[in-house]
Amino acid sequence: MDIRSLTAVELGRKIRQKEVTVKEAVEAYLTQIEAVDSEINSFVTVDREGALKRAEEVQRHIDQGMLTGPLAGVPVAVKDNLCTKDLLTTCASKMLSDFIPPYTAEAVANLERAGAVVIGKTNMDEFAMGSTSETSWYGPTKNPWNTEHVPGGSSGGSCAAVAAFEAPLALGSDTGGSIRQPSAYCGVVGIKPTYGTVSRYGLIAYGSSLDQVGPIARDVADCAAALQTLASHDEKDSTCVERKDTDFTGALTADIKGMRIGIPKEYFGEGLDEEVKARIMEAARTLAAQGAVVEEFDLALVPYAIPAYYVIASAEASSNLARFDGVKYGYRAQGYEELHGMYKTTRAEGFGAEVKRRIMLGSFVLSSGYYDAYYLKALRTKALIKAEFDKVFERYDIILAPAAPTTAPKLGASLSDPMKMYLSDIYTISVNLAGLPGISIPVGKDSRGLPVGMQLIANCFAEKKLIRAAYSFECATNRRYVAGVCSGRFQTQEEGGKQDVETV
């Protein structure tokens, strides 16, 4: 048995049944990282020593019966914008290239309390600002399906790590699509939960009213188990919602009879790649064949989501990133004259181009004289978008859409044209504005062999519907699109690759 061929939940079970030790699990993934990461660049930091030490501790706690959950002993890769005590946390920026957090993010702590073993920190767009993972100060991550292509972003390192079998499970964050879009590009499953479900404590803020932490894995069951562990009411994050309905694994039932699924016509118009469209429509037919009621509807405000998002996210970023001033942590420039000179030079040298672009835009839209015309206008648009979704969810349980308009673009193709890169988030961004949960699951590949992801969106707090629908799709297709078996250095085999793995 190849440990890497197991999903996170399967691996956890084998560890509890003493068929695999935690050390063996951690070593299998460290070995894979060693073999492939020079090519993929999923990781900024690999914590070999810490992970092996932690593996011993977790094994002891499992043996003593203190850890009994599904993720005990399971290795996890963590996006590098989530603080990890005593472990470098860079946000893929020169600004934080030497930052060792004195505390651990609540989301990571929840996983650790459940016995997960952090094996490293994953690459991303700098401060999560980007859609391709190319704005990282540590160089771009490559798509494991074709290394000439991007993995998407900003959680590109986490998604690539799961796709390349460098980790069975990873954490990402999603401000405008940063879990769902790279999950689609990399052929993995990713959930962006309802805003407030997972604590943002220790998540280095980008757009605080939009940011959510979520899981990335090879199948829906893994994501459900991880989300169940991640969700918690945390008094350290005052926007955290107290939820009682977080037994997400209970929603893993293949039954969508009568589920009302709406397809927004506006998501299937201009700009959508024909092959992506074909795969998504096939997936919709699969769900209909399982008894779901699938129909089209109008979602008129789609064109306004991206402009509203860039105003709101940039405004919040300009405020959030004011803390990086070279005083308490991070990079400090040399050769300044006085305090303000130090601030300005530090920030000019510490931030990359995309981050500066958004800080400038954010500072502008918040400035006196433009605040009403841009910032408040965007917040009013957000209210309209939220109201439109409220209406849609009176009629539908789920919205079905592509996760991105194309499959993964080539490296370098988007960087030269920021506007083009922004458009790759057109189907994911409004979900963040309305605080909704969304999931991306693989539904096939295009003719170049690059994965296509389907996005399912539900009303706030209706993650269980998402999980049920996504799980039903997996079962209806015999888990054909679940990355299952690996051989050689890395291989994400599709059709037929899942036959020898038991259903969770």
User: From CA 466, how far away is CA 452, in angstroms rounded?
Assistant: 18
**Which of residues 279, 347, 464, 479 is near another protein by CB under 8 A?**
347
Provide, rounded to whole angstroms, the least separation between the CB of residue 98 and another protein.
8
Q: How far is the CB of 456 from another protein (least distance, A)?
A: 19
Residue closer to another protein, measured from CB, 185 or 389: 389
Q: Does 127 bind another protein (CB under 8 A)?
A: no
Each residue 145-184 as x (binds another protein by CB under 8 A) or -, in order, gives: ----------------------------------------
Q: How far is the CB of 352 from another protein (least distance, A)?
A: 12
Candidates 14, 42, 79, 155; catalytic one: 79
CB burial readout 342-367, b (16+ within 10 A) else e: bbebbbeebbbebbeebbebbbbbbe
Nearer to another protein, 60 or 323 (CB): 323
- Residue 331 binds to another protein (criterion: CB under 8 A): yes
Residue 152 Cα to chain centre, angstroms: 10
Where do the H-state alpha helices sit in 330-417? 339-350, 353-366, 377-395
Q: 3-state class of 75 per DSSP? A: strand
Q: Is position 244 an interface residue for another protein (rule: CB under 8 A)?
A: no
Contact between residue 468 and residue 256 where contact means Cβ atoms under 8 Å apart: yes
154 preceded by a cis bond (ω within 30 of 0): yes
> Which of residues 349 and 446 has its CB atom nearest to another protein in the complex?
349
Q: Label each residue of 340-364 as H, E or C.
A: HHHHHHHHHHHCCHHHHHHHHHHHH
Rounded CA separation 236/504 (Å): 34
* 418 touching another protein, by CB under 8 A: yes
Cα 40 from chain centroid? 17
Q: Is 235 in the site for another protein (CB under 8 A)?
A: yes
> What does the alpha-carbon distance between residue 179 and residue 463 come to, in Å, rounded to a whole number?
15
Question: How far apart are CB 204 and another protein at their closest, in Å?
Answer: 13
- The one among 318, 407, 455, 472 contacting another protein by CB under 8 A: 318
Q: Extract the tokens encoding 274.
A: 């024909």
Minimum gap (Å) between residue 193 Cβ and another protein = 13
Total binding residues toward another protein, as defined by CB under 8 A: 70
Of 62-70, 182-190, 268-276, 308-316, which segment contacts another protein by CB under 8 A?
308-316
Please confirm, yes or no, whether 424 is among the known catalytic residues: no
Which of 136, 154, 155, 472 does the annotation list as catalytic?
154
Phi-psi region of 167 (alpha: psi -120 to 50; beta: other; left: phi over 0): beta
Which amino acid, one-letter code, is at 123? N
Contact range with another protein by CB under 8 A, out of 14-22, 37-45, 154-162, 310-318: 310-318
Mark residues 371-410: x for contact with another protein by CB under 8 A, - for none.
Answer: ---x-xxxxxxxxx-x------------------------
Comparing CB distances to another protein, the nearer of 246 and 407 is: 246
Task: Identify the CA nearest to 357 among candidates 399, 405, 398, 318.
Answer: 318
Choose which of 127, 201, 248, 343 interacts with another protein (CB under 8 A): 343
Among 247, 322, 323, 449, binds another protein (CB under 8 A): 322
Choose among 88, 42, 46: nearest CA to 330.
88
Burial status of residue 446 (CB atoms within 10 A of its CB: 0-12, 13-18, 19 or more): middle
Does 154 participate in catalysis according to the annotation? yes
Residue 426 and residue 411 in contact, taking contact as beta carbons nearer than 8 Å:
no
Q: Which phi and psi angles does 310 have, rounded to 5°?
A: -65, -30
Q: Binding of another protein at residue 330 (CB under 8 A)?
A: yes
Q: How far is the CB of 378 from another protein (least distance, A)?
A: 7
Residue 173 designated active-site: no
Q: Which of 58, 231, 311, 439 binds another protein (CB under 8 A)?
A: 311
Smallest distance from another protein to CB 480, Å: 36
Contacts of residue 119, Cβ cutoff 8 Å, sequence gap at least 6 = 26, 29, 30, 33, 46, 47, 48, 51, 75, 76, 77, 167
Please pick, from the candidates 138, 165, 267, 310, the single residue that binds another protein as defined by CB under 8 A: 310
CA dist., res. 479 & res. 471, Å (int): 9
Q: Is 336 in the site for another protein (CB under 8 A)?
A: yes
Residue 340 binds to another protein (criterion: CB under 8 A) = yes
User: Smallest distance from the beta carbon of 348 to another protein, in angstroms?
Assistant: 4
Show the CA angle centred on residue 311, arms to residues 309 and 312, nearest 5°. Answer: 65
Identify the residue among 308, 452, 462, 504 touching another protein (CB under 8 A): 308
Distance CA 484, CA 403 (A): 22
Q: How far apart are CA 336 and CA 289, in angstroms?
A: 67
Site for another protein in 7-66 (CB under 8 A): none
Enumerate binding residues for another protein (CB under 8 A).
98-100, 102, 195-196, 209, 235, 238-239, 241, 301, 303-304, 306-308, 310-311, 318, 322, 325-332, 336-345, 347-348, 351, 356-357, 359-367, 374, 376-384, 386, 418-419, 433-435, 460
Active-site residue list: 79, 154, 178
